[in-house]
Structure 1
Amino acid sequence: MAGSIWMGMTWWMWLWVPRGRPSCSGGKRWEWIFSRSLLRLEFLSHPVPSSRPIVRLAPSLAVSPPAVSVVRRDCERRGQEAACLSAALCFRATSRTPGRWDRRLYLQFAASLDEWTAGARAAFDGAGQRLAPRRLRLTVGNVSCEQLRFHVLDTSDYLRPVALTVTFALDNTTKPGPVLEEGSPTSIRKLVPFSKDCGPDNECVTDLVLRATMDIRGSRKDPFVVQGRRKVLVTATLENRKENAYNTSLSLSFSRNLHLASFTPQRGRSVKVECAAPSPHARLCSVGHPVFQTGAKVTFLLEFEFSCSSLLSQVLVRLTATSNSLESNETLHDNTAQTSAYIQYEPHLLFSSESTMHRYEVYPYGTLPVGPGPEFKTTLRVQNLGCYVVSGLVISAFLPAVAHGGSYFLSLSQVITHNASCAVQNLTEPPGPHAHPEELQHAGRLNGSNTGCQVVRCHLGRLAKGTEASVGLLRLVHNEFFRRAKFKSLTVVSTFELGVEEGSVLRLTDASRWSESLLEVIQTRPVLISLWVLIGSILGGLLLLALLVFCLWKLGFFARKKIPEEEKREEKPEQ
C-alpha cells in the first residue's frame, strides 16, 4: 500500500517526533500515531529532513532607576545635563530536545529608543537613538546579560514614557545551530515612565501664589491724569509654596487702552518663560516648563503703553496661574491677581479764536447811510496736536448782544461749521443789571456780566492726531444803538469755552479751555466851528497871501529878464 500500513499491537510504545518542526536530510518523513492497542504508521510522500535542536528564549529587561526624574540631572552628555539610566538585558535559553548536542549558541540583538518619535530626547551613550547590532553568547540552562546605558536630555514631554525596544534572533552564520521554538518571542519592549518627584504616590499637590502691583493709582473720585506720561508698569510675582507644579502657565489679559511693550522676568532668570499671543490684548506664557519646582519664585516686569486710539476710563491688568498638578480649593484664591486704576486723559489741544474786525468807528447821523453796520466773522478753531484720538468736545460761545431795554448792539447772523454741529440757545441773563446806553461811558466793557448773551453750543466731531474742527460766527453791528449811546470808547468781550461732554475721559487744562475775542468800538463826534473864527481865518489867509506876493515883487520875482538875442535886436535899430 502506498498510503499507510496498519499494525495491531497489544503493548505501549512511546516515540515522539515534533510535528511541524522536521529537519531536512533528504529522506521520507515518518509520523507515528500511538494508541493503547493500535499502532498506525503513516507514510508521507514529501521529504523529511533530519532534526535540529530546538531552544526557547526567555528575555527580560530591567531599567535602573525605574523612572526618569523630571527634575534631577545626575550626569552630563553632549555638554548638557542629563538623566542617566542603565538597562539590564538578560536571556535564559531552555530546550527540550533530548540527546547530546552543543548547548552553546549565539544571539544577535539590536536596540532602539523612541523609534517612532521625531526628535532625540533619549539616546544610548556613545550612540544615537539606535544601537548597532551586538552578539551575545548563551548557554542552555543559564542566564546571560548585557548592560545598555542610555540618557534622557529632554523631559518636557513627561506624559509620554521613553520606549526601549530590543529585537533579537539566533545567530547561525558561522555554523548550523539550534532553531527557536515556535511561539518563542523575538523582541522585548520596556516603557520607562517619568517620575514627578512628589513622594511615593507620585501625585503633586502644589500651592501657586500670584501677586501684582501697578505703579499708578486712581479712583472714581480722584482718577489718575495721563499727561505727558505714556507708560505704566506692572510688577507680578509667581511663587510655588508646595510640591512641584507641572506644566505651569500664566495667563495675562489687559484692557484695550493698553499695549504691552515688554514682558521681562526680573528675579528667577533661571526659570524659562515662553509666551504666545492668542489675541492682541492677551498673552499665554509657560513658566519653567516642564516643572515649576518647589520653592521657586519668579518676578515679571510688564511695561505697557497707553493706546492713542482707544480711550477708556480704567486700565485693567489680570493675571491667572494654573498647572497640571493638584491644588486644594482653599489656596486657589491667590492664583489670580488683578490690578486696575481709574484714569483721565489730558489731550494736547490748541483752542484759538480769530476775528476779521477788531476796531470799529461809529459815525454820527448824516455821515453814513442809515442801516445796520458791517458784518464780521469770528472763527473758533480746535487743533489736536497730541496722539490721542479725542471725541466728545463741546464749544460754548457767549456772544454779548442785548443791552438795557432789549436793545441789540450785536446780533448773530450765521454759523458756519467744519466737523461740528451747532445749535443757538436762549439769551442768557447777566448777574447784574443790563448796561444802559446813557451810561456806557462808565462801563468801558460789554460782556456777559452786564449784557444778555447769545449762546451757541457746538459738538465737535472725532479729532484724530493732526486734525482740527472749526466754527465760524457771523455777526452784525447795530449802528443805531451805538449812535444813541453816550461813550467815547468801549470794548465788546466775547467769551468762548472748550469743554467735554458729561462722563468723558478727557480732562482739559484752564489754558486750553478759554479764549476771548475783543471788538473795540469808538464813537466820533462832529466838531463845531465859530463863524467869526472862520471869517478871521479867511482874512488872515488873504493877508498872508498878499504879504507873500509883495515880498516876491520886491525881490524882483515878477520882473522878466531879456535874453541876449533880444538885446542885440534892440541895439541894431538905434544904430
Structure 2
Amino acid sequence: CSIHGQLDLNEDGLVDLAVGSLGNAVLLWSRSVVQINASIRFEPSKINIFTKDCKRNGKDATCMSAFVCFTAVFLSAHFQTASVALRYNATIDERRYTPRAHLDESGERHTQKGLALLAGQEHCDRLQFHVLDTADYVKPVTFSIDYQLEHPENGPMLDDGWPTALKVSVPFWNGCNEDEHCVPDLVLDARSDVPSAMDYCRRALRRAPPDCSAFTLSFDTSVFVIESSRRRVAVEAALENRGENAYSTVLNISFSRNLQFASLIPKDDTDVNIDCVTEDKHPNKKVCNVSYPFFRAKAKVAFRLDFEFSKSIFLQSMEIYLIANSDSEEKESTKEDNFAHLNFQLKYEADLLFTRCV
C-alpha cells in the first residue's frame, strides 16, 4: 500500500491524495473550505423613544435600520474568484415572549433570506424595523442571525468550528447628556387640609382675631383641630423633576395607624401615570410607580391623596410621610426636597348633646 499527497490532479488549488494497493489506485480530493464572517450595525446606533419619526399600523413609532453583512473567505488562493450561496434567519428579541420591535416588511420578529457571496466582497442586506411603546426601555433589543450554506451537499463547505450565528444588541437612548449618565432632581411638595387651631377658630367658631389668638394660646403646642363632622383628610401634593430623566421613579407613602388610605388621584390633564400597591405585611404603607419606566425631565404631576380617619384608633397625632426616589443617581445636594413630612398634633372637636330629664 502506498500513499502520495503532493500533486493537484484536478487543478482546484488543493493537494489531492492518491492511494494505491494491490494493483488498484484511488484518488481522493477535498472540497474547498470557506469561512463566513458576519456583522450587524444599526442606523441610528441607538433607539430614540423620545422622537417618533414614523407611523406603523396607524401608531407613532421609532424607525430603525439593521445592516446584516456577510463576507466569504475561501482558504485556498485558487478560489479567490469563486462564489457561494448562503441562507440566513434574522430574529428580534428571540428570548422574549413579546418582542419590542417588529420588521417593517412583515410586521413580525422573524425573517429568512438568501443571497450569493463573491469571495472577499462584503454583501449587506438592509432590514428595516420599528419600535412601538414598550414598558422596558432599560434592556437593549437583541438582533440575532444564524446562517448556513444554501447547498451544503455541493460546492464548498464551511470551515468546521467557524461561527455560524451572531447576536448583537441595540440599546435605548436614555435621553440624557452625551455621557449617558442621567442626573435627575426630584422635588416633592405636600400640604394638608386639616385646619390649624387658628383656622378652626375663625371658620368654625367665628370668633374675632383677638379671641382666636387667645384660643390658640390655650393649647400647649401648635395643634390642629379635627371637627366632629370630618371623616377624611386630603393632601394636595406635587412631584416635579427639574433635572434629567429619572428611571424607575417611586413614591413611598407611609401614614399613622389612625389613618386608612382611600385614594390617589392625579389632577389636571396629565399623561403621567401613578400606580400604587399595598403590601399585606405593611397596611400603613403604599409604594407607587411614577410614570414607569421613567419620569421625564422637566415633567411635573400634581395629585390628591385622600385618607379616612379610623373609627377604632384615636391618637393624639397624625403623621403622613412621602418620599420620592429613583434608580438614577441624583446629587446629594438636591435630595433634601425629595420628601414631605406632615406631622400634626390633634385635638378632636366634641360632639355632645345634653338633654334634661324632668
TM (norm. structure 1) is: 0.52
Q: 1:116 aligns with which of 92, 95, 116?
A: 95
Give the distance between the partners of 1:16 and 1:241, measured in 2 at CA.
76
**2:288 paired with 1:310:** no
Give the distance between the partners of 1:299 and 1:208, measured in 2 at CA.
13
SS in 2 for 1:333: helix
Kindly report which structure 2 residues correspond to 1:424-439, keeping only aligned pairs within 5 A, or say none.
none
Deviation track 1:438-473 (CA, whole Å, cap 9, x = no partner) reads: xxxxxxxxxxxxxxxxxxxxxxxxxxxxxxxxxxxx
Kindly report which structure 2 residues correspond to 1:97-496, keeping only aligned pairs within 5 A, or say none.
97-99=76-78, 103-127=82-106, 130-172=109-151, 176-218=154-196, 220=221, 222-267=223-268, 269-278=270-279, 279-346=282-349
SS in 2 for 1:280: strand
Which one-letter code corresponds to 2:191 in the other structure? T
How far did 1:145 drift?
Answer: 0.9
Which one-letter code corresponds to 1:97 in the other structure? S
Per the alignment, do residues 96 and 329 of structure 1 end up closer, same or farther by CA in structure 2, a change over 3 Å counting? closer
Per the alignment, do residues 141 and 100 of structure 1 end up closer, same or farther by CA in structure 2, a change over 3 Å counting? closer
Which one-letter code corresponds to 2:233 in the other structure? V
Deviation track 1:501-533 (CA, whole Å, cap 9, x = no partner) reads: xxxxxx354x44xx6667xxxxxxxxxxxxxxx
Retained in 2: the 8 A contact 1:70–1:155?
no
Per the alignment, do residues 80 and 42 of structure 1 end up closer, same or farther by CA in structure 2, a change over 3 Å counting? farther
Which one-letter code corresponds to 1:338 in the other structure? H
Q: Percent identity?
A: 35
Give the distance between the partners of 1:121 and 1:5, measured in 2 at CA.
60
How far did 1:48 drift?
Answer: 6.3
Give the distance between the partners of 1:46 and 1:213, measured in 2 at CA.
100
Give the distance between the partners of 1:207 and 1:104, measured in 2 at CA.
59
SS in 2 for 1:195: coil
For 1:523, the equivalent position in structure 2 comes to: none
SS in 1 for 2:60: strand
Which one-letter code corresponds to 1:307 in the other structure? S
Retained in 2: the 8 A contact 1:115–1:129?
no
The structure that has the greater radius of gyration is 1
Deviation track 1:314-370 (CA, whole Å, cap 9, x = no partner) reads: 222211000111111111110001223333334xxxxxxxxxxxxxxxxxxxxxxxx
Q: 1:90 aligns with which of 64, 69, 89?
A: 69
Per the alignment, do residues 142 and 118 of structure 1 end up closer, same or farther by CA in structure 2, a change over 3 Å counting? same
How far did 1:70 drift?
Answer: 4.3
How far did 1:83 drift?
Answer: 2.3
Retained in 1: the 8 A contact 2:223–2:344?
no
Greater mean alpha carbon deviation, residues 181-190 or residues 316-325: 181-190
Give the distance between the partners of 1:137 and 1:334, measured in 2 at CA.
63
Give the distance between the partners of 2:315 and 2:186, measured in 1 at CA.
32
Give the distance between the partners of 1:223 and 1:100, measured in 2 at CA.
92
SS in 1 for 2:336: helix
Give the distance between the partners of 2:8 and 2:320, measured in 1 at CA.
85
Which one-letter code corresponds to 1:306 in the other structure? F
Which one-letter code corresponds to 2:115 in the other structure? L
How far did 1:16 drift?
Answer: 7.6
Which one-letter code corresponds to 2:140 in the other structure? P
Per the alignment, do residues 333 and 42 of structure 1 end up closer, same or farther by CA in structure 2, a change over 3 Å counting? farther
Query: Which is bigger in relative contact order (C-alpha 8 A, separation at least 6)?
Result: 2
TM (norm. structure 2) is: 0.81
How far did 1:94 drift?
Answer: 2.0
SS in 2 for 1:197: coil
For 2:206, the equivalent position in structure 1 comes to: none
Gaps in structure 2 of 5+ consecutive residues = 198-220
How far did 1:288 drift?
Answer: 1.1
RMSD: 3.1
Give the distance between the partners of 1:263 and 1:143, measured in 2 at CA.
59
Which one-letter code corresponds to 2:165 in the other structure? S
SS in 2 for 1:308: coil
How far did 1:297 drift?
Answer: 0.3
SS in 2 for 1:30: strand
Per the alignment, do residues 321 and 52 of structure 1 end up closer, same or farther by CA in structure 2, a change over 3 Å counting? same
Retained in 2: the 8 A contact 1:70–1:291?
no
Retained in 2: the 8 A contact 1:217–1:341?
no
**2:70 paired with 1:77:** no
How far did 1:29 drift?
Answer: 4.5
Per the alignment, do residues 46 and 335 of structure 1 end up closer, same or farther by CA in structure 2, a change over 3 Å counting? farther
Give the distance between the partners of 1:183 and 1:293, measured in 2 at CA.
48
Which one-letter code corresponds to 2:59 in the other structure? Q
Give the distance between the partners of 1:204 and 1:60, measured in 2 at CA.
31
Greater mean alpha carbon deviation, residues 281-290 or residues 46-55: 46-55
For 1:65, the equivalent position in structure 2 comes to: 44
